[in-house]
Structure formats: structure tokens, C-alpha cells
Homo-oligomer: A and B are copies of this chain.
Amino acid sequence: MTAAASWPRIEGLAYGGDYNPEQWSRATWDEDVLLMREAGVNLVSVGIFSWALLEPKEGLYDFAWMDELLDLLHANGIAVDLGTPSVSPPAWFFHAYPESRVVTKDGTVMGFGSRGMASHASPEYREAIARMAGELARRYGNHPAVVMWHVHNEYGVPVGEDFSPRAVASWRGWLQRRYSTLEALNSAWGTAFWGQHYDDWEHVVAPAATPTTVNPAMKLDWARFTDDQLRECFVIERDAIREHASQPVTTNFMAHQSWNVDLWKWAQLVDVVSDDHYLWAPDPDAHVLLSLAADLTRSVAGGKPWILMEHSTSAVNWQGHNVAKRAGEMRRNSLTHLARGADAVMFFQWRASRSGAEKFHSAMIPHAGTNSRLWREVVELGGHLKDAAEVRGSVVRADVAVLYDWESLWAQDLEWRPSDDVQFRERMRAYYEGLWRDGVTVDFAHPTHDLSRYKLVVAPASYLLTAEAAANLTAYVAGGGTLLVNFFSGIVDEHDAVHAGGFGAPSRTRWA
């Protein structure tokens, strides 16, 4: 079976949010679907955290409640983006497979009771998620309510790195595949500095706790490895789904808010690109970063349909001061996404939780209920989206490209750079904000992309720039393009090694 390459079977724009009915009585479900219809909701994401209820004991499944839920939604004309629950394995999983827990840099084992604690390197975890995704796809691949698959949740947060023994073993295998020989690894990592030469693959360590700064090239590779581990797990689930189902598959990114995932690579793997965005309350101009994230999401999508999978109707709960949105702010943020090409406006979550870590996160139905300003704004927004159905699928055209490369982000933000203040994010914002204030529409691009269609290319933070990318930029300029390059760009190659520059051509030492 092959996956659909297009946006799911929904008329016009999609509107809705994460729906977690397992937190509510059956009577509330009926109230929910009535209210969804009142608000114009036509798409909800379900099941993202439901593993413990779908498989209460290992190998024992309970799909009855999900059957009932999907039928209820379908009967009310509400389509479903069906989640795989891999972000939150049940308590029994960690009890049975304690070595599948994430370990921090300093050796602390991450325990159950929160979320996101599974080691993506664990074979048992990988087997369990493949099985669960397969079971769901087999059962719901043909369910008429299901129009899309939502694998996992926000890969890379709250944790990306994992120093568990399983992860370190995977790391060695990854390095062998990447470098083939220890000579190549020693050369790439510059192990001659501080006497770190390796003579045996088994001696290679991960960049865990050390007395002072760890080898930066190792750490940059570790970031690549971490991203790869997450992507491997996504592909395991996606492929397990595709064996039984043909709806498009997505996973929700956090563009410019989650740093462990290279979205240029991830966007290749999904059918629909989706993004979550949350404002940072202390920032009076947080809407500029919201626009940046939307432009970045559209850019990585590269022509694929893309949607806003999550944002908030008002305050979030995890910041120091969770500021409620002003009247109209939710609409402004929603329309900002539409204007940048999104085909859906979705929220976390439909109904505010009474319990749990995020009960003070706003929702489409607030704690105050439907007799509230917030609910009226939610209904109003549903109307706006219905009226704007014609913009679905519209295309954004930009004359300016901003270079954005996660590898350069990872490299630039390593330790012991000339100044802590020269950060990828700060530079990116400074340039983007300037263009935004001048009303210039921008795409983002990778430095190796074909840039010939742009009048201007801006490189705010290209600290890491490969020879291939440099050649590409040179060709762009030679072809008449205008390139604006920020200071501290083009400093290192893909191994965080300073380009040869005044030294003459780089050369191998006798040991590498």
C-alpha cells in the first residue's frame, strides 16, 4: 500500500484540536460532539496519549472504546487524525523493560510519571511501537472517520538526548556506518587535540558528563545521531501504518521551538507537514517568531500540504508567567498561519483537563465552560474559517530566502564559542524581524538548495558551511543573485573544524 500524497479528505479548511475523551465520562462525549458542531470543528486528533488504555497489559488490547468514539465522531461529521501513542508507553512497559528508560548526561535515569521517557534506541521500545502502530492501522485503516495518522508527539521534546547503555551501543554502530574507519573518525573529530585519539571502536564514548568541555565534533555528531534515532522510530511507525492503511501520515513539528530535529530531513518523511506553535509570553513581539515558525514550516514542507496542528486559545501553563491572550489575539495568530499557507487551524486541546500537569493550559472549552468569552471566540473563529475555505491550498511566493540549517544551529550553539551572545536563534530572529517589519515575505532555504529564483538570499547564522554549500552560494552570486551574509558565518566545516583560510589547504596528519 502507498500513502496518499495529499491533504486528507476534508472540505475547505480544517478546524479543531487534540481531543482526549478518555479524561471524561461517556455523557461528556455526547456534549462534546454537539459543541464541536456548534463551533464548526471538523477534525480532531485522538489517541496521542492512549496507549495505557488501548493495551492495558502487554499484548492485551481494548479497542472497544476507540471504536465507539470514532463511530460517534463520524456520525457527527467530524473527521479524525488518529494518533499513535508512542510518546507515552504505559507503566507496565517501563516495569517490564527498565533499560528502555532515557538516561541523562550525568547518569540520572528518567522515571515514569511524566511523559517522553522512552529510549528511542531501545529494541524493545521499537518493537512495541511497531506492534501498536500496526494494530491501530489494521483496525482503523478503513474506518471512514480516520483521514490522517498522527505519529508520536513533538519528537525531540521534552527530551532528545539519551545516554542509556542502549543508546551508547547504538551510537558506536552509527559511527562505524558513518566513518567506516577509525582514521576517518579521528580526523573528523580532531582527536589529536587533548589526546583523544581512538584505537578501538569499543573505546569510543558518548559526550556524557566530563570534567570540562567535550570534543565539539563528537557533540555535533551526537546531535545528528540523536535526530537519526528519532527519525528511525518515526519510520518504523509510519511503515507499520502503511502496511494496512492509506491515509496520509504526519507528525507534529515544533519549528524554531524544538531543536533536536532537522526538519529538512523530517519533512521528506511525512505526507502532510504539521506544526505546533506556542508563544513565549515575556516576549512582546512573540508574534514575529510565530510568523517565522509558519514560514519555516511552509518552507520545509516544500510544496506538500501543511497545517497548524497545535496552538493555544489563550495562556499556556509551563512558563513562569502564563499570560492570557488579549481579545483577538487567537484569531490574529490563526490567520497568520492561513496567510502563510496553512490548511488547518488546530489547538491543544478541545476541553481543558481537570487533572494532570497541563490543567492550566487553555483549551477550546475552558474550565469556565461555554458561557465565556473564550468559547464565543472559538465559535467565531470556526465561522471565519468556514468563510475562508477558498484559501485552502493557496500558494505563497517569496522573493527572499533566509538560510536555515539545523546542523549549523547545533554547531554554533556548542560550548566555547567567541561569545555566548552570538547564538543561532538571536541572529535568525534579528534578520527575520527586520524583513518582517519591512513587510517582506520570505522563504527559508537550506544553503545547498537551488536559490536561483530568489532576488535576495540572507545568511544570518551560517557558522557551519560545507564546501558544497559555499560553492552553491558562490554560484548563486555568480548568477546575479544578492547574498547578505552575517558575521561569524562560514567558519567551520561539517566536523566543526575551522576552514583552512589563511593556513592554506587543510591536510591530514599522519594519524588520520
Identify the A interface with B (CB < 8 A).
Answer: 20, 22-28, 49-53, 56-57, 65, 85, 88-92, 94-95, 102, 104, 106-117, 158-159, 189-200, 202-218, 315, 317-318, 320-322, 352-360, 366-372, 415-421, 495-498, 500-504, 506-511
Contact = CB atoms under 8 A, between A and B. Distances in A.
Nearest to A217: B355
A52 B195 contact: yes
Contacts of A368: 501-502
A320 B17 CA distance: 43
Nearest to A91: B203
Contacts of A421: 321
Given A52-B197, A200-B95, A209 B356 contact: no
B214 A56 contact: no
Contact of A195 (B85, B207, B508): B85
Contacts of A206: 111, 113
A190 B367 CA distance: 16
B102 A356 contact: no
Contact of A370 (B27, B94, B195, B502): B502
B113 A196 contact: yes
Given A90-B195, A91-B203, A210 B111 contact: yes
A495 to B, nearest CB: 7
A233 to B, nearest CB: 16
Contacts of A418: 315, 317, 322, 360
B212 A158 contact: yes
Contact of A509 (B24, B106, B315): B24
Given A91-B205, A199-B91, A193 B357 contact: yes
Given A116-B212, A214-B357, 7 more contacts: A23-B509, A49-B194, A52-B197, A88-B196, A113-B207, A114-B213, A158-B211
A214 B113 contact: yes
A102 B206 CA distance: 17
Contact of A320 (B85, B212, B214, B419): B419
Contact of A211 (B24, B25, B114): B114
Contact of A113 (B28, B108, B218): B218
Contacts of A202: 95
A254 B123 CA distance: 49
16 contacts: A22-B192, A23-B193, A50-B195, A53-B195, A53-B197, A56-B199, A102-B211, A107-B109, A110-B209, A110-B211, A111-B209, A117-B210, A190-B353, A193-B358, A315-B418, A317-B418
Contact of A416 (B117, B200, B357): B357
Contacts of A501: 367-369
A510 B102 contact: no
A210 to B, nearest CB: 3
Contacts of A53: 192, 195, 197, 511
Contact of A503 (B210, B212, B354, B356): B354
A377 to B, nearest CB: 16
Contacts of A204: 91
Contacts of A321: 419-421
A379 to B, nearest CB: 15
B417 A199 contact: no
Given A85-B195, A212-B115, A502 B110 contact: no
Contact of A203 (B95, B192, B210): B95
Contacts of A318: 213, 416
Contacts of A372: 502
